[in-house]
Amino acid sequence: MNRKFFSSPAILLLPSILAIGFVIIIPLIFSFYTSFTSYKLTRPDSLFNFVGFRNYERLIDNAKFWAAFGRTILFLAVVLNLELLFGLGIALLINKITWGQRTLRTIMMFPMMFSPILVGFQWKYIFNDNIGLLNNFLYLFGYESAIPWLIDKYLAMGSIMVAEIWANTSIFAILLLAGLLGIPRDPIEAARVDGCNSWQVFKNITLPFLMPFIFIALTIRSLDVGRAYDIVHIMTGGGPAMRTELLWTMIARIGYKDANMGFANAMSYVSIILSIAFTYYFFTKLVAARRELGQQ
C-alpha cells in the first residue's frame, strides 16, 4: 500500500461504505419501492403491480397497526427511562464500592453479552406459569395458584419489559460508571467547601458531567432497540391475542406469515424512521452535551 492509498480518507472509507451500501442501502431502496406495490412472496409478478400510496393508506386506516405503534412507543419510553434510572442507580452504587469494584463491573456486563434470543428464552422460562422459576418461588410462600405471567395481557407486557430491562440496563450502568470514575475530584471538593450537600453536589456537578455519558449510552442503546424483536418473538410471539404486538413482530407476521411484503415494507419504513429518529435525536444531544463540557 503506497502513500496515496493510506492518505486518502475516501479510499479508507470506501469498503465500509460499499458493505453498508450493498447490505443496507440497496435493500432499503428496494423495499421502499416494494412498499408502493402489492408485492406478495407467493406471487412474484405482483412486484410490478404499482399501487401508489395504497399500502401507506391502509397503514393509516389500520387500527391494529396504530395499536402496535403506540405500544412500541410506550414500550420504548418505559424501558429506556427505567434502564437509565436503574443504570444510574447501579453506577452510583458501584462507584461507592472500593473493594471488588472491578469484579462487580465485569459481572454487570454479562447480561449485555447474552443473545437477545437467549434473554427471551430465559425469561420465558422464569415467567412460565407452570414450571417457571418465579411461580415456583412464590409457591414457597403459599401462592399455589399459578400466576399466568405471559398470558395475562398486562402481566405479559410487564414481563417483556422486565426481560428487556434486565438485558440492557448494564450498558447504562457500565458507561455511567465510566463517567463517574472520570469526574475530576476538584470541582466536587470545591462544591463541598462552598457548602453544597450531597444532593446539590450530585445535581450541580455530577449530573452535568455525566450528561455526555448518558447520551452515549442512549445513542448506543437506540441503535439496538430493534433487537427487542427477538425477546418478544420468543417470550410471547406478540400474543396473547396480539396484546404484546410491537411494530417489529407485526412486520414479521405480516411479511412472512401472511407473505404480504408490500404492506410489511411500508410498515418497516415506519419502524426504520422511528429507530433513526431516536438515534439521531440522542446523537445530536450527545454532540451538544460534549460541546458544553468543552470536550470537542
Site for other proteins in 105-144 (CB under 8 A): 105-118, 121-123, 125-126, 130-131, 133, 136-137, 139-140
Compute the least distance from the CB of residue 52 to other proteins, in Å: 19
Q: Does 238 bind other proteins (CB under 8 A)?
A: no
On the 0-12 / 13-18 / 19+ scale of CB atoms within 10 A, 51 is: middle
User: Which one, 201 or 267, has the nearer CB to other proteins?
Assistant: 267
Residue pair 40/259 in contact by the 8 Å Cβ criterion: yes
Site for other proteins in 257-276 (CB under 8 A): 261, 264-265, 268-269, 271-272, 275-276
Q: How far is CA 180 from the centre of its chain?
A: 23
- When asked if residue 37 is in the footprint of other proteins (CB under 8 A), the reply is no
Q: Which of 38, 159, 206, 222 binds other proteins (CB under 8 A)?
A: 222
CA-based nearest residue to 90, from 75, 111, 74, 73: 111
Please check whether residue 286 is in contact with residue 279, taking contact to mean a CB–CB distance below 8 angstroms.
Answer: no
Smallest gap from Cβ 154 to other proteins, in A, equals 22
66 backbone dihedrals φ, ψ, rounded to 5°: -65, -35
Residue 84 has which C-alpha cell? 437509565
Q: Which CB sits closer to other proteins, 108 or 157?
A: 108
Please give the residues from 183 up to 212 whose contact with other proteins meets the rule CB under 8 A: none
- 296 contacts other proteins (rule: CB under 8 A): yes
Contact between 236 and other proteins per CB under 8 A: no
Q: Based on the shown chain and the rule CB under 8 A, indicate whether residue 74 belongs to the binding site for other proteins.
A: no
> At its nearest, how many Å lie between other proteins and the CB of residue 172?
12
Contact set for other proteins, span 79-98 (CB under 8 A): 90, 93-94, 96-97
Cβ-in-10-Å burial (0-12, 13-18, 19+) of 211 comes to middle
Cα distances (angstroms) measured from residue 151 to each of 17, 134, 241, 277:
45, 14, 9, 32
